[in-house]
A and B are shown apart, each in its own frame.
Chain A
Amino acid sequence: MVRLTIDNKKIKVEEGTTLLETAQKLNIEIPTLCHHQALKPYGACRVCLVEVIKGSRLGLVASCTYPAEEGLVARTETERVKRARRLSIELLLARCPTSEKVREVALELGVKKVRFKEEKEECILCGLCVRVCEEAIAKSAISFINRGADREVTTPFKIGSLACIGCGACVYLCPTGAIKIEDVRKCRRLDFWNTKLELKKCKVCGKHFVPLVELDYLKDRIKSFEEMELPEEALEVCPKCRKRILSEKAGEFIFGEKYP
């Protein structure tokens, strides 16, 4: 355990806890854009900056990556912190002026005008998509490429990915809405990743609803259908039909055969 102080509040936390997590325990709010509690911190957006005082040294650090240290004193509300966060979000806003999430955080931090040349990028390079695909889905279908001003996220060789299963985890986490996912008849499209995947037909209603490769992935991940009391066909029926069948079964169970 280490003891530290944030905004004059003392706290004891497990070693390896980040400053952001520590602050959250103290109900101190820190804005974030590239952080997700289930993924490894990455420190890309710099809106979570806080001030740390070590001895006589003062520094600004990204709280999502900075580990709590014994005796550390941190402040989250000083003028310097506010100014630094505002600059970070202003730069991001100049890059992606249309992103809801970025605008929301900008507003929270009191940034209304952007002094820099506006670009029309869709991506702020937060890396959430890359991390969720690698850490949670274990597919690593996408990655950062190039560096410096040319850095971007994309699939290998910028062509359709053979690793992508079309699960949509990246779409869900992306703060800017850069990645779109769409089912068009027999096909799931993720245009941002140049990827198209064939969908499976629901056994009952005939609607196409899940990418074949995602189905294989799920079957693989669910080790034992028996243990879960799940018939293997459960995955071959679309969620809507599955729900109907289940409620019918429940009805029969409760009201007897003749239901409804």
Chain B
Amino acid sequence: MRKIDRIIKRHKKKGALVPLLQDVMAEYGYLPQRTIERISQELDIPLSQVYSLATFYKSFSLTPRGKYLISVCLGTACHVRGAPRIVEKLERDLGIRAGETTKDSKFTLETVNCLGACALGPLVVIDGKYFGRINLSRLDEVLKDYLK
């Protein structure tokens, strides 16, 4: 049985869409169109409604994400502590805009609004790891590890 079959089977009975899409995200890193269409058929939910949900949450992506997801917090606290400059630097260094993925599929850059750890701001999360009180030179250091 293919992975996607198993994921769908697991959620089919309850018909809960959000956990299903979360599992697909975890497995494939994004929500492929084919998969969304298939989910709509198997769960007998109009395609438009699955698509609506898939575009509603920031943690869902319709395009493939890079190996490492870099999230920069742009919430108020992080913002006033210089987060915009962090974003700018990352955009320059990686050659992509926020919301995009590098050509080599290594990094996806996104901005989020408050991660709930304002005291640590400005805050960057790379591949699930939190880097608090980050500044431009520390960012260079941190990035080095991932650029290897």
Contact = CB atoms under 8 A, between A and B. Distances in A.
Contacts of B49: 140, 143
B33 interface: yes
Nearest to A142: B48
Of A140, A141, A147, A156, most buried by chain B (CB within 10 Å of CB) is: A156
A163 interface: yes
B48 A143 contact: yes
Interface of A: 134, 139-147, 155-157, 161-163
Interface of B: 33, 36, 46-52, 55-56
A143 B52 CA distance: 6
B52 A144 contact: yes
B8 to A, nearest CB: 18
A43 to B, nearest CB: 18
B55 A163 contact: no
15 contacts: A134-B46, A140-B49, A143-B52, A144-B52, A145-B51, A145-B52, A145-B55, A146-B56, A155-B48, A156-B48, A157-B51, A161-B48, A162-B47, A163-B46, A163-B47
B55 A141 contact: no
Nearest to A144: B52
B111 to A, nearest CB: 13
A141 B48 contact: yes
Contacts of A162: 47
A161 to B, nearest CB: 8
Nearest to A157: B33
A36 to B, nearest CB: 19
Chain B interface helix/strand/loop/mixed = helix
A163 B49 CA distance: 12
Of B33, B36, B47, B48, most buried by chain A (CB within 10 Å of CB) is: B48
A45 B49 CA distance: 22
Q: 9 nearest interchain CB pairs?
A: A140-B46, A143-B48, A143-B52, A156-B51, A145-B55, A156-B47, A146-B55, A140-B48, A156-B48
A257 B47 CA distance: 54
A163 B56 contact: no
B42 to A, nearest CB: 16
Contacts of A141: 46, 48
A71 to B, nearest CB: 38
Contacts of A161: 48
Contacts of A147: 56
A135 B141 CA distance: 56
A144 to B, nearest CB: 6
Of A141, A143, A144, most buried by chain B (CB within 10 Å of CB) is: A143
A134 B46 CA distance: 9
A163 B48 CA distance: 9
Contacts of A144: 52
Contacts of B55: 145-146
A139 B36 CA distance: 17
Nearest to A152: B55
